[in-house]
Structure 1
Amino acid sequence: MNLYAIKAIYLFEMHRTWRTIMQSVISPVVSTSLYFVVFGSAIGGRIPEINGVSYGAFIVPGLIMLSLLTQSISNASFGIYFPKFVGTIYELLSAPVSYVEIVIAYVGAAASKSIILGLIILATAALFVPLRIEHPFVMLLFLVLTAVTFSLFGFIIGIWADGFEKLQLVPLMIITPLTFLGGSFYSIDMLPPFWQTVTLFNPVVYLISGFRWSFYGLSDVHIGTSLAMTAVFLIACMVTLRWIFKTGYRLKS
C-alpha cells in the first residue's frame, strides 16, 4: 500500500476545499439554515409534533442527509473529473499507484469533507431546535457509511461524465428529488397505504429512516434493513469501480 501517494492526493483534495470554503462549506450551511427557518417555523407552526418529536427537530436528520448525499456526490465527482478534464489523469494512471489507492484517496477526501459538513450542519441545527441523539454511535456509523457510499457513487459519476453539466445531472435530477420524497420532511406513515408501498422502492428512505432512528428511536423501516440497504449500495459501488478500472472505461480513451 502506497501510503505516501494516498496522503498526497488526500491532502491536495482537502486543501482545495479550504481554498473554496465559501462554496464547499458556507453555502450548504446557509442553505440548510434557510430550510430550518422556512420549514421549521412556517410548516412547524401547523404541524407541532410527529410521533412525539417537534417538527423542527424531526426534519433535522433529513436535512443533514440531503446535504450529505449531494455534497458527497459533488465532491467526489468533481475531484476525479477535473484531472480528466485537464489531462492529468494519465499521469496518475501511469504512476506507481494502484486503483485501490486512488479510490481510497479521492473517496476518503470527499467523504471527510461531507462528514465535516454534516457535523457543522448538526451543530447549526442545535441553534434552531432542541436536539437529542439517543444512539450517537449509530448516528456516526450512518454518517460515515453514507458519506463513503455516496462518495464512491460520485466517483463513478465523475468517471462517467464527459461534461460539466453531467456532473450536476444525477444530483439535481435524481438524488435531490429522491431525498425530498424519501421522508425528509414527513413520516411515510402519514401517506396513504398505496403511496407507502411505492415509497419503499426509494432507496433514500432507508438512509433517512435509519439516520432518524439514531436521533429519536423513530423509523419508518427497521434499523437493520436500513443498514443492509446501505451496505448493498456500498458493495455495488465498489464492484462497479473495480470493473471500471479493470476495463479502463472512460479512463484510457
Structure 2
Amino acid sequence: MNRHAVRAMYFHELRRMRRTLTQSLIAPVVTTTLYFIVFGAIVGARVPTVAGVSYGAFIVPGLLMMALMSQSLSHGSFSIFFPRFTGTVYELLSAPVSPYEILLGFVGAAATKAVLVGGVILLTARCFVPLQILHPVWMLVFSLLAVLAFGLVGFLIGLWADSFEKLQMAPQLVLTPLTFLGGSFYALEMLPPAWQQLALFNPLVYLISGLRWSFYGQGDVHLWTSLAVALGCVAAATATVAWTFHTGYKLKA
C-alpha cells in the first residue's frame, strides 16, 4: 500500500475542514440545537415519553444518525467532485495510486470528519437531555458503518454530478425524505400498519434503529437485522464504487 499517498490525501481533506470550520462544524451543531428546541421542548411537552424514554432523549440517536449521514455524504461527494471540476483528478489517476488507496484517503477523511461532527453533536445533546448509552461499542459500530456507507454513496454522487446544482440535488431529494421517514423523530409502531410495512424498505430505518438500540436497548427492528442491512449497504456501495473505477465512469475522458 502507498501509505504516503493515502496519508497525503487524507490530511489534505482534513485541512479543508479546518478552512471551512463554520460550515463543517458550527452549522450542524446549530441545526441540531434548533431540532432540540423545536422537537424536544415543544413536541416533547405534548409527547412526554416514547417507548419508555423521554421524547427529548428518544430523538438523540435519530439526530446523531442524521448528522453522521449528511456530513459523510457531503464531504465524500465534494472530495471527488472538486478534483473533477478543476481537472486535477487526472493527475491523481496517473499517479502510482490504486483505486482503493484513493477511496481510503477520500472516504476515510469524510468518515473522520463526520465522526468528529457526531461527537460534538453528542456533547451538545447532553446539554439538553440526560443521555444513557447502554452499549457504547455497538454505538461505534453503527456509527462507523453509517459514515462508511454514506461516504461511499457521497463519492458516487461526486462522480455522477457535473455541476454544483446536481451535487446538492441528490441529498435534498433523496436523503432528507428518507431520513424523516426513517424513524428519526418517532417509533415505527406509531405509524399505521401499512406505513410500518412500507418503512421497512427504507435502509435508514435499520441504521437509526440499530443506533437507538445501542443507546436504550430497544429499537424498531431486531439488532442483527439492522446490522445485516448496514453491512449490506456498505458492501453494495463498495461494489458500485469498484465498478466505477473498473469502467472509468466519469473518470476517464
> TM-score, with normalisation over the residues of structure 1?
0.99
Alignment partner, residue 163 of structure 1: 163
Alignment partner, residue 153 of structure 1: 153
Alignment partner, residue 252 of structure 1: 252
Alignment partner, residue 201 of structure 1: 201
2: distance between equivalents of 1:247 and 1:213?
A: 40
2: distance between equivalents of 1:26 and 1:143?
A: 20
Q: CA deviation at 1:134?
A: 0.4
Q: CA deviation at 1:121?
A: 0.3
1: distance between equivalents of 2:158 and 2:152?
A: 10
Alignment partner, residue 98 of structure 1: 98
Alignment partner, residue 231 of structure 1: 231
Given residue 176 of structure 2, which amino acid in structure 1 is its aligned partner? T
Deviations 1:104-146 (A, max 9, x none): 0000000000001111100100000010000000001111111
Q: CA deviation at 1:6?
A: 0.2
Secondary structure, aligned partner of 1:133: coil
Q: Structure 1 regions of 5+ residues with no counterpart?
A: none
Alignment partner, residue 69 of structure 2: 69
1: distance between equivalents of 2:168 and 2:229?
A: 24
Secondary structure, aligned partner of 1:44: helix
Given residue 2 of structure 2, which amino acid in structure 1 is its aligned partner? N
What does residue range 104-115 of structure 1 map to in structure 2 within 5 Å? 104-115=104-115
Q: Structure 2 regions of 5+ residues with no counterpart?
A: none
Secondary structure, aligned partner of 1:45: helix
2: distance between equivalents of 1:75 and 1:236?
A: 19
Deviations 1:18-54 (A, max 9, x none): 0000000000110011000110000000000011100
2: distance between equivalents of 1:43 and 1:74?
A: 29
Number of residues paired by the alignment? 253
What percentage of aligned pairs have identical amino acids? 58
2: distance between equivalents of 1:111 and 1:224?
A: 23
What does residue range 185-200 of structure 1 map to in structure 2 within 5 Å? 185-200=185-200
Alignment partner, residue 31 of structure 1: 31
Given residue 19 of structure 1, which amino acid in structure 2 is its aligned partner? R
Alignment partner, residue 56 of structure 2: 56
Deviations 1:70-112 (A, max 9, x none): 1111001001000000000000000011111000000000000
1:136 aligns with 2:136: yes
> TM-score, with normalisation over the residues of structure 2?
0.99
1:174 aligns with 2:174: yes
Alpha carbon RMSD of aligned pairs, Å?
0.6
Q: CA deviation at 1:236?
A: 0.6
Q: CA deviation at 1:168?
A: 1.1
Q: CA deviation at 1:167?
A: 1.1
Secondary structure, aligned partner of 1:201: coil
Given residue 222 of structure 1, which amino acid in structure 2 is its aligned partner? H
Q: CA deviation at 1:179?
A: 0.6
Q: CA deviation at 1:195?
A: 1.0
Q: CA deviation at 1:192?
A: 1.3
Runs (4+) off by over 6 Å: none
